[in-house]
Amino acid sequence: MRINSGRGLLREFGIVFPVGAATFPDRVQSLIEDADTGIPLVLRDLLHQLVLEIGELESRIKTVEKHLGALASQTPVVERLRTIPGVGLLTATALVGFVGDVARFPSGRHFAAYLGLTPREHSSGGRRRLGRISKQGDVYLRMLLIHGARAVLQGAQPKSDPDRFRSWALEIQGRRGHNKAAVAVANKMARIVWAVWKSGKPFQSRSQAVADAIQA
């Protein structure tokens, strides 16, 4: 939020930054120190305070991540969930913390439905129609999985031989577009989370080429 606020302020002066948080504070600080940028003094002070706030937040985030990492190393299920593409430390610990016992869900579909990632069904006569996802359940967990799904789609692009999961994700993206694909991948991730959690085994996925060779 702080970074987006800074981008918005600077855009009013024709200064546009590329997407990404890593270099934003340093670049803004350089603008503040450059007397020829044409940025008013009042705005320079405001941006300086913004950079300080971002630095403090990043420090706190690193501390929290360090504590979560220590917790994860003592929680085997968290380590197993992190083997799933798109599921990082924050998502894995949040799932374990919020869900508790995954055995209360009889299937991966029930688990995905609990997270609001299954489409609503509108059927009449012998016709079945699926609508938008229900968006029931915990908003934060659903957001984490959808962000993870976007990371899966982005990370699959440069791979010359993606695994079966990423190949499926790219196929969905090609047919339905990025946004719908992200939701579909998040749904799939939720089902995989349930399976990995319940089985006690880490996620494994062969490359598509290997899978095709085995089937042949």
Mean predicted confidence (pLDDT) in 156-185: 85
Supply the pLDDT for residue 160: 66
24-33 and 2-11 helices, crossing angle to 10°: 40
pLDDT at 13: 78
What whole-number distance in Å separates Cα of residue 199 and Cα of residue 76?
Answer: 12
The whole-model pTM stands at: 0.66
Helix (H) or strand (E) holding 132: strand 127-133
How high does pLDDT run on average in the chain?
81
pLDDT surpasses 60 at 130: no
How buried is residue 128: exposed, middle or buried, by Cβ count under 10 Å (0-12/13-18/19+)?
exposed
Choose among 90, 87, 85, 82: nearest CA to 65.
90
Task: Read off the pLDDT of each residue in 22-46 and give the average, rounded to a whole number.
Answer: 83
